[in-house]
Amino acid sequence: MASIVETAPLVLDVGVVLTVAATMGFAARKVGLPSVIGYLLTGLLVSPFTPGFVADSKQLSLLADIGVVLLLFEVGIEIDLRRISREQKALLWGAPAQVAIGLAIGTPVFLWLGIPLLGALLLALSIALSSSVVIVNITRSPRRTTDTMTEEALLGWSVVQDVFGVAAAAVILTLFGASERPLIFAIGGLIGFGLLAYVASKLLPVLLQIVRWEKDLFLIYSVSVGLVLAALGTVVFGIPMALAGFVAGLAINQSRDTEEVRKAILPFRDLFAVLFFVVIGSLIEPAQVLKAWPFALLVMLLLVLLKTFPIALFAHLGKLKVKKLQFAIGMSQVGEFSFVLGSLAYSEGALTRSQFTGVLMAVVVSIVASTLLVRKAPGSRSI
């Protein structure tokens, strides 16, 4: 009975949060807004900074991490990177170039503001990266106005961003003191996980073929192997779990029998992914908002200058088969990986409390703005 008593508060937290999130999401949709806005407001309502019910943020963060892994896992299953790289080659050079521009210009700006080098580098990288979670929601929304090519390019660009961003973060954290791993081990981790994913992509389809008529075993093997790969990517190779989850999905993608797996995990993915937005909303401290808004505005301005404009330009130069402006707006937010990098900078003392709150505000505003504006962007494929 003791274990049941200890577990009950977590069950209560999850039940209350999901109920409130569903209600707020429904209300947001009724007035023509994305449900994401309702989820973010839910986080603010259950945070320790507002009166009333307070949820355990650490427990919710754990469940939110599972949701993000399942989300990227499902994207990896569905997306066809080979076809994208063949038909939209500009993704392979455009995304790294855009991230590099963000680092090269954003870092001096933050240094000029008196932020230490580590914090300046991590903040610049944060702004350069987009939110895979938000982009997936944009491409899956029943109210979306994007076409298939634009949706695939959004997903592909965000994936290449993440790969390049993980490599850049590994170098930054190793060289400037936030990581105890030597640079060679950080790079070796990326290569090692790539090899593990390659081996899995060869073995897993064979296993799935053996149990293809055993529907329950087929699902269990597919999801469990994917989650194990994602966890190993983080624990053994130091890869962010969301990115590792995506690569795990790509491994399963090699099988021809995965459509039913994708459909089976969708309800779990949607349920847990809601908690990601709730967690972000719960971290904003209202008492810091007045101090933080100038920094939040600066982050938003840099986001437009260093991400929206370059992405639109590179999409045009690379002749991507997308709705150019809509594509650039869809990429124009900061999200989960950026939140992690900002938290690292704050924990290392490279950011003040108000600056960290400003980053969180920029995350929320950019998520809301990109989710709304991407529906209104002109439909032309030219700029």
pLDDT > 90 in the chain, percent: 15
For residues 78 and 111, the model is more confident at 111
For 93-129, the pLDDT digits (tens) are 999 999 999 999 999 999 999 999 988 998 999 899 9
Radius of gyration of the chain (CA): 20
Token pair belonging to 235: 């624990």
**Helix (H/G/I), strand (E/B), else coil: 352:** coil
What's the CA gap between 345 and 119, in Å, rounded? 5
DSSP letter, residue 323: -
Q: Would the CA dihedral through 11, 14, 18, 19 be positive or negative?
A: positive
Class of domain 2-376: mainly alpha
What's the CA gap between 316 and 381, in Å, rounded? 9
For residues 334 and 328, the model is more confident at 328
What pLDDT, on a 0 to 100 scale, did the predictor assign at position 178?
A: 52
Distance in Å from the first CA to the final CA of the chain: 64
Average pLDDT over residues 305-326: 90
Token pair belonging to 130: 């987009």
> pTM of the entire structure?
0.78
What is the domain partition of the chain in residue ranges? 2-376
Q: Would the CA dihedral through 113, 116, 122, 125 be positive or negative?
A: positive
What pLDDT, on a 0 to 100 scale, did the predictor assign at position 255?
A: 61
Please provide the average confidence, as pLDDT, over all residues in the chain.
Answer: 80
Cβ atoms of residues 303 and 360 within 8 Å: no
What's the CA gap between 310 and 371, in Å, rounded? 19
DSSP secondary structure string, 144-202? Answer: ----HHHHHHHHHHHHHHHHHHHHHHHHHHHHTTS--S-HHHHHHHHHHHHHHHHHHHH
Cβ atoms of residues 54 and 46 within 8 Å: yes
For 10-64, the pLDDT digits (tens) are 677 778 888 888 899 889 888 877 788 888 888 888 887 776 666 666 777 777 7
